[in-house]
Structure 1
């Protein structure tokens, strides 16, 4: 291709290359070009004849090549929007998904004390904990993760978004937590079956398997969480679990067997079972 590139020709080139490997070549190209130009997507429409500098061309072509190889767009540009937040992302954590915003919506709508304490298990980027803390300034939110690099990333995202009522610590589920009880526990744990074909598709190929896979039926970590959660919940406290769309019945049974009540599964925006929630210590 020619060394000179305008916005229009860059878009056409990127879309052409990515159409062979990406399910969303146009959106991917636009996001990558906007990152290079440090502009919003409306700029691409308003000023299609603007020329890219040599350094911008080099960076754009490198981005397109990475995406052609399958690397997630969010890892390439190093950030991802979630809720109202802009989050740094890297290969130490999963990329926050739009469907996980349902977990935040449900948590901030719970009938709990105004000064509640909330725990986010397996916090990763800190997305869930930070989103909840941003909406509930009187809550104290604690996020934990077993991966030290993830905890460091979550702490950077706390500073990036200037949210003060949240803290992050290193802990494998409840194992290294301080002696404390919570009004709300939320988690988006690993829930993919170890032999699932999904692990070989799309962005999942590049994301940490330890944050995705949970045994043969995908429920190993969820079983641990449900078995221990009641020891860390205040009376009438809530547990909210994000999970796969075929796992709700099994999770409901686990919760009932552990003494939880008001067990309910909520659908995501695509109509799939996505979050199961339950209350402890009430009839």
Structure 2
């Protein structure tokens, strides 16, 4: 990309070939998303402006985006955006990139919430994807969203502001339930997308995930269940009678989790499939 004239079409063709040689998945889509980001436009506009030449500053910014993607940095971190539940969310290296399978948890949460003025706890909120999605759907909802990471909480705050729910998404820095009064059942629903990648599985993750997304939000111990077990042990004490606990889990982890947890406050638990048919969400209900 030096002295010749580079049009949008020519740049996209070159970048698609380069990404293909580098083994980047969906090379054309990646090239288009990054160029649209650099030009601050929609992807569809690229097709309408194929013959438009790029200026030197635009080429420089695009070269930098290409370099970052070629090093396996996720496209979402380069653009700073990811869509979730039809909402555009800010993302960055301090938070996991929200995945489509987590939308199943949001969908189930909305089904389980009581009719009015419900209170939800979102453990390990990250980007705030779950908390913000629930708050945008239910105007009477209050969500307490917690995380250990100050960087994650700042991104969650900006996402709440972006979608005008900052008055109903209350952010708190804590590890699990550490800052709450013991055994006070104040929540109608507790949701969590905790670290659940086991050591063996982590070693096989793509570079985009293992080298760029926050390790502390991914790894859950040898079998991936360390944090999930803590949540199952503690969460029931903060649920109102009849309240529900929803936890996202990894593929196959349903076989390692009890259908009847060793907790007198919880009835039997079950599992919910995601859109790919994987048992993805554990659902437990408090006695009452």
Shorter-chain-normalised TM-score: which range?
over 0.9
* 1:26 shift after superposition: 1.3
* 1:111 shift after superposition: 4.9
**What is the rounded CA distance, in whole Å, between the counterparts of 1:200 and 1:30 in structure 2?**
22
> How many pairs does the alignment contain?
281
Match of 1:29 among 22, 28, 31: 31
* Cα RMSD for the two superposed structures: 1.6
Match of 2:200 among 192, 195, 211: 195
Residue of structure 2 equivalent to 1:185? 190
**What is the rounded CA distance, in whole Å, between the counterparts of 2:73 and 2:55 in structure 1?**
24
* TM-score, with structure 2 as normaliser: 0.93
Q: Rate the CA distance shift 1:97–1:204 in 2: closer, same or farther, 3 A.
A: farther
Contact 1:21 1:70 in 2 (8 A): no
Contact 1:171 1:177 in 2 (8 A): no
Q: Does residue 69 in structure 1 map to residue 71 in structure 2?
A: yes
Contact 1:6 1:51 in 2 (8 A): yes
Please give the secondary structure, in 2, of the residue aligned with 1:109: helix
Contact 1:80 1:95 in 2 (8 A): yes
Please give the secondary structure, in 2, of the residue aligned with 1:195: helix
**What is the rounded CA distance, in whole Å, between the counterparts of 1:281 and 1:113 in structure 2?**
19
Runs of 4+ in 1 over 6 A off after TM superposition: none
* TM-score, with structure 1 as normaliser: 0.94
Once the two structures are superposed, the pairs formed by residues 215-226 of structure 1 within 5 Å of their partners are 215-226=221-232
Q: Does residue 244 in structure 1 map to residue 250 in structure 2?
A: yes
* 1:252 shift after superposition: 3.7
Residue of structure 1 equivalent to 2:176? 173
Gaps of 5+ in 1: none
Residue of structure 1 equivalent to 2:241? 235
Q: Does residue 213 in structure 1 map to residue 215 in structure 2?
A: no
Residue of structure 1 equivalent to 2:282? 276
Residue of structure 2 equivalent to 1:256? 261
Deviations 1:33-81 (A, max 9, x none): 1101111111122221112221111111110110001001111111211
**What is the rounded CA distance, in whole Å, between the counterparts of 1:264 and 1:273 in structure 2?**
10
Q: Does residue 10 in structure 1 map to residue 11 in structure 2?
A: yes
Q: Does residue 125 in structure 1 map to residue 127 in structure 2?
A: yes
**What is the rounded CA distance, in whole Å, between the counterparts of 2:191 and 2:174 in structure 1?**
15
